[in-house]
Amino acid sequence: MIFGTGLDIIEIERIKNSIEKYSPKFEQRIFTSSEISYCQTKGNPAKHFAARFAVKEAVSKCLGTGITGLLGFKDMEVINEETGKPVLKMIGKGEKLFQKLKLKTIHISISHDRTHAIAHAIAEQ
């Protein structure tokens, strides 16, 4: 059964500007060390950081919390399977919330073009 769904879109340039202006504090406040390492290996890191930012926002919407004391940016992590498929891993407060809501999984999908990144999340009970 679907518990909730969330969608987020962000301008890649917005994330690029934040990285240029506030690096490394910006990345460290929003992303896990694994996410930072992954994105920094890419030719256009801002595009990949933006996609992961959009996932975190979409997940917070599908759970109905937003980014608050119940769920922070670093309480979830996007990892990639060997095939490249993005998968969400809930950690810290995110894992506790996941268990409290009795969720089975949270499906995510990411896409981006030259200017925008978009993510969709569906929480399943």
Sign of CA dihedral 97, 78, 65, 75: positive
Q: Quick one: pLDDT at residue 38?
A: 97
Active-site residue, 112 included? yes
Closest residue by Cα to residue 121 from 70, 68, 44, 51 = 51
Model pLDDT for residues 68-122, shown as the tens digit of each residue: 999 999 999 999 999 999 999 999 999 999 999 999 999 999 999 999 999 999 9
Given the residues 61, 93, 104, 120, the one annotated as active site: 61
* Overall average pLDDT of the 3-17 stretch: 98
pLDDT at 97: 97
Report residue 11 as tokens.
């301008």
102 classed as catalytic:
no
Q: How high is the mean pLDDT of the chain?
A: 97
List the catalytic residue out of 48, 74, 112, 120: 112
pLDDT at 24: 95
**Domains, in order of start, for the chain:** 2-124 (3.90.470.20)
- Alpha-carbon 58 to chain mean position: 7
